[in-house]
Amino acid sequence: MPHLSSISASILAADVRPAVAPSMPTSPPMANVAWAQADMRRGYCSGGPGILASALAWTAATVATLAASPQRAVWVLLVGGALIHPVGVLVCRLLGAPGRHVTGNPLGPMAAASTAWLIFCLPLAYVVGLQHVAWFFAAMLLMIGGRYLVLATLFGMRLHAALGLALAGVGIASAWLGASAPLVAAGGAATEWVFGVACLASHRAWLRAGVKAASGTGG
């Protein structure tokens, strides 16, 4: 019968043997976050056309508050919002981008989920607007601003985060100060026009930097 000390020694020896790590699967390129963000930027021009399409919808709503009524402007913004994606894709293609991301991009579902989240929040904004129509536009600025924070991750750009915070700030300030519906809508439109132009300028600079980097590597 083996001695107790010899048994303990064998157990300790077994414990100190190096463990064999399980083989890890090779990560495909699509699993790389930076690659996925770059694919989003290439496909959608860094989101600039979408911002400009949204600015156009806010501009139409602003005009409707003045030419018709704030209540009509609510529906103008809702219909215009539904057209943001197709209009943005069209502008992307006019600028030479595909207007879509590569199939299998892991960030694609996040973009779809953020859109669904925004749609689910629309009834809340509408109910708020029944109390005071200007609050509808303020609530929309908060909701859209929140979505831009998600887009900041999708595109890997701080500009989208700054835009989201700016829209939220306009919405909160408008509600706090009791701004009129035309003023709230105009604030949203102006903010998105400025950031939309800045985003396209940033995208062009990003493309030029990529071309220079590729040229340097090739040389």
Residues 90-127 pLDDT 10s: 999 999 999 999 999 999 999 999 999 999 999 999 99
∠ CA 194-196-199, nearest 5°, is: 110
Domain spans of the chain?
33-213
Residue 49 sits at φ, ψ, to 5 deg, of -60, -35
The average confidence (pLDDT) of the chain is: 87
Residue 14 banded pLDDT, cuts 50, 70, 90: very low
> CB of 171 within 8 A of CB of 138?
yes
pLDDT digits (tens, 9 = 90+) for 33-90: 999 999 999 999 999 999 999 999 999 999 999 999 999 999 999 999 999 999 999 9
Dihedral sign (CA 25, 100, 98, 143): negative
Whether residue 181 is predicted with pLDDT greater than 70 in this model: the reply is yes
